[in-house]
Structure formats: C-alpha cells, structure tokens
Amino acid sequence: MTRATTLTWVDDLSATQADATLTDDYYDAVVQDVSAIAIFVEASLVAVTSGTSQYTLPSYAREILSVFYDDTELERTSKRELTDYNSVWSLESGSPVAYGIDDESKRTFVVYPVPDISSAAFAFPFGEPFGRDYPRYALSVVHTDVRVDYPKWMDLPIAASVLAQEFRRESNHKDVEVAALWKSTSELLLGMIFT
Amino acid sequence: MAKVAGPLIDLVLARVRDPQGSSHPRSLVLGLLSDLQCTLNAAYEDVMATTTFTLTQRQCFYQTSALIPDAIRIKQVKTTGGEYLEKMPLEEMRAAQPQWFRYMAAQPACYGLYGEDGLVVWPAVDTSASVDITYVKIPTVLAVEGDSTEIADEHVETLLQMVELFLLLRVRDKESAAAKMEEVTTRVKAGL
C-alpha cells in the first residue's frame, strides 16, 4: 500500500535488474499520470482576500474538479474567454461567479469578478471546516491529489508501468518487447479497474 | 467457495514449469496472488462490506479514503432507517440547486461521486444523522499459504493467469508472455 511496496515489486519483477534511483523517478512520473484518474479527491479551503483575483492550489492538488465561492459553485472558464467577455474583467469586483486556470505550471487560478469581501477567519472550533465551521466568503476547491503512497490495489498496475519504462531505457538489460508487454499489462489492469 | 492459496501456488508453478519454485519463490507467488486479487477486486467488485458512518452536520463532501481506508469504491448508500439513496450525477445536483454544496435538509436524498474518492451525501444534514455505506473492499491479504481467496470462484482462473503473466515477464519469456497476454485479454473481454 505504499511507494516502498510498489518499488519492491519492481525490483522483484525485474529480477533485481532495475536501477533503484531511476525507478524512483519513474514511479513519480507514473503517479503524476495516474493522479488524473481521480483516485484521490479532496476538498481544500482557500482564503479570499478582497481585491485579489488570483489564488494558488495546495501543493498536493493536481486537477481542479469544482470551485465554490461561499455556497455557490463557480462556472469554469478560461482567461481568454473572460477577456473576450470583458476586456477589463480584472477591474470588475463583486461575488465571484466563474473561475479559470491561470497558469498550470504555477498552480494558480483566477476568479471572476474579483472578490470584494475577504473571507471570514479560518477558525474551526468544531473541527469541521466543511461543516459547522465553514468560513463565509471562502473558496472551496475540490481537486484530485498526487500522493506518494497509492492504495494497495494500484501497486501492481503502477509497478508494471514503472517496469515498462525501466526496460525501455538504454541499459544492459534494455528489452523493448518486454517493455511493451509490461506496458500492455499495466494498461489492461487499469482498463479493467476504470471502465 | 474460496480457494486456498497453497494449492493455487502449486498450480501456477506447474503451469510456468517451475514446480519446485526454483525460479519463482513460493512467497513471491503468494504475494502476487494477494496483490492481484486486490487489483482484480477493484475491477470485478466481488468482495464488498458495509459500514455505518455518521454524517458531519452541514457537510456534504467526504473523502472516502480518509473515512473508510479499506474501501476501493462506494456502491450504495442508505439511511439507517433502511431507505436507499439514489445515486445522482453531480450535474443534476448543480441543476437542482445552484447552492448545492451548502444546501441543507433534515435527511439526505441522494449521493454522488467525485471520481473514486469523493463522496457527496446530499443535501447536507443540519442535525446528526448516519448512513450505511456499502463499498467494494480491499480483500484481506493472503499472508500464508493456508489463507483463502475472497474473489468469486469464476474469477480465480483469471487471477491465476494474471499471476502466470507476471511470472513469465519476470523471466522474460516473451513468446509465452505474449500468448498469455492474449489469453488473459480475451478472458477479460469476455467478462471472466
């Protein structure tokens, strides 16, 4: 049920030929791809500052699924659409009704119009940030997560995908046919699970 | 009827022509049986469990992996009174009520899913309430050869063939692995 278990499988199934440092990197790349499947989904609160349109996703977030401002779900749009709709959109203020991905590499998104009220303090006396303690005028972002450890049922599909990369790279054990078969195995398992 | 792991290991090792387990240690085969059983259960949904879960007041979104660590995915939600909640696409909740994320009622009426892990029990309740959640479960680890499989018997053959495929790839027997891949794919497409 962990990265360590998966990498142990990679070592065993490569008959200890896999390079531990490289497979570590391959693991990271594979889970980045896999995280788009929405295996892990989380809601995060983002504090709103009056007059600020741009906000940053938590470091572990990958894909935004929904954004809510206070109690209202925002429409997804893009900066281009916003500009087409209103060239001075960034000067409009009020309660946000839409959001757009600002810069994926910087993990930021923008909301429109620019909020004119800062969110209430993030104080959670009941320990229920999305329940009784839900702060007024905050943003809630539902997003997929990238994690270090994936659930046990993903160990072998991920291991097979890592092995495909390991046998494809230049090395004394490079074998493109075996790489292709590992890739097909991973795809078969993922296809079985997610269709 | 559940199958005991030890005889399954014998069978797989005989099929890959390593009955003594000299190339493939029995512990490795046991581990593959165990982990592939988990993976196959995510696909076949044979092993299920039910748990009672107390809803948080005024909250409709829950992260399944945090609430039920052995859950693969949610299959059914019902009130403790026995009323099944309808599974509803999130778009319909949005259409029904623009402020759906904070909308409240005395009892939930339906549930929805964000991917594999995000559970929405909607509307949120404004008093304390519980629901019974039926979910696809991670099967118990096959720790020793005396442990038994939990997936349906009709899927055990696919499990065995999948283990064979992994072992053939492990020793880079490409021809046999390619043939096995075809065989397994055909079985899977046939729903076996």
Q: What is the pLDDT of residues B178-187, one digit of tens each?
A: 999 999 999 9
Contact A65 B114 (CB under 8 A): yes
Identify which of A66, A73, A144 has the shortest CB distance to residue B98.
A73
d(CA B152, CA B191): 13
CA nearest A160 in B: which residue? Answer: B166
**B97 — pLDDT class (breaks 50, 70, 90):** confident
Please give the residue that has the higher pLDDT: either B81 or A102. B81
Is the pLDDT at A3 greater than 70? The verdict is: yes
Report phi then psi at A101, rounded to 5: -75, 125
Q: Which residues of B134-149 are buried (b: 16+ CB within 10 A; e: fewer)?
A: bbbbbbeebeebebeb
Please give the residue that has the higher pLDDT: either B29 or B188. B29
Structure tokens at A178: 């075996």
ipTM entry: 0.89
Q: What percent of chain B has pLDDT over 90?
A: 82
- Dihedral of the CA atoms A149, A155, A157, A161 (nearest 10)? 60
Mutate to test the interface with A, among B90, B94, B166 (most CBs of A within 10 A): B166
State the pLDDT at residue A89.
79
Structure tokens at B27: 């512990």
Please give the residue that has the higher pLDDT: either B177 or A2. B177
Mean pLDDT calculated for residue range B80-92: 91
CB-based contacts of B1, cutoff 8 Å, min separation 6: B153
Q: Are strands A139-145 and B110-114 parallel, antiparallel or unpaired?
A: unpaired
- Other Cβ atoms less than 10 A from the Cβ of B179: the count is 13
pLDDT tens per residue, range A10-46 = 999 998 889 988 999 999 999 888 877 778 899 999 9
CB-based contact B104:B126 (threshold 8 Å): yes
- Other Cβ atoms less than 10 A from the Cβ of A37: the count is 16
CA atoms within 13 A of residue A195's CA, in its CB half-sphere: 9
- Other Cβ atoms less than 10 A from the Cβ of A46: the count is 18
Q: List A residues 133-162 in contact with B (Cβ-Cβ < 8 A).
A: 134, 140, 142, 144, 151-157
State the pLDDT at residue A106.
67
pLDDT tens per residue, range B11-56 = 999 999 999 999 999 999 999 999 999 999 999 999 999 999 999 9
**A193 — pLDDT class (breaks 50, 70, 90):** confident
CA nearest A36 in B: which residue? Answer: B115
Mutate to test the interface with A, among B117, B142, B192 (most CBs of A within 10 A): B117
- Report in angstroms the alpha-carbon separations of B179 from A189, B11, B39, B134: 17, 18, 21, 38
CA nearest B57 in A: which residue? Answer: A131
d(CA B55, CA A43): 16
pTM exceeds 0.80, yes or no? yes
**A105 — pLDDT class (breaks 50, 70, 90):** low
Identify which of A38, A182, A192 has the shortest CB distance to residue B114.
A38
pLDDT tens per residue, range A134-184 = 999 999 999 998 888 888 889 999 999 999 999 999 999 999 999 999 999
pLDDT tens per residue, range A72-87 = 999 998 878 888 888 8
Contact A13 B103 (CB under 8 A): no
State the pLDDT at residue A170.
92
State the pLDDT at residue A55.
94
How many angstroms separate the CA of residue B83 from the nearest CA in chain A?
24
Mutate to test the interface with A, among B62, B70, B101 (most CBs of A within 10 A): B101
Is the pLDDT at B5 greater than 80? The verdict is: yes
Is the pLDDT at A1 greater than 60? The verdict is: no
Is the pLDDT at B189 greater than 90? The verdict is: no
How many angstroms separate the CA of residue B7 from the nearest CA in chain A?
22
Please give the residue that has the higher pLDDT: either B118 or A148. B118
Is the pLDDT at B86 greater than 70? The verdict is: yes
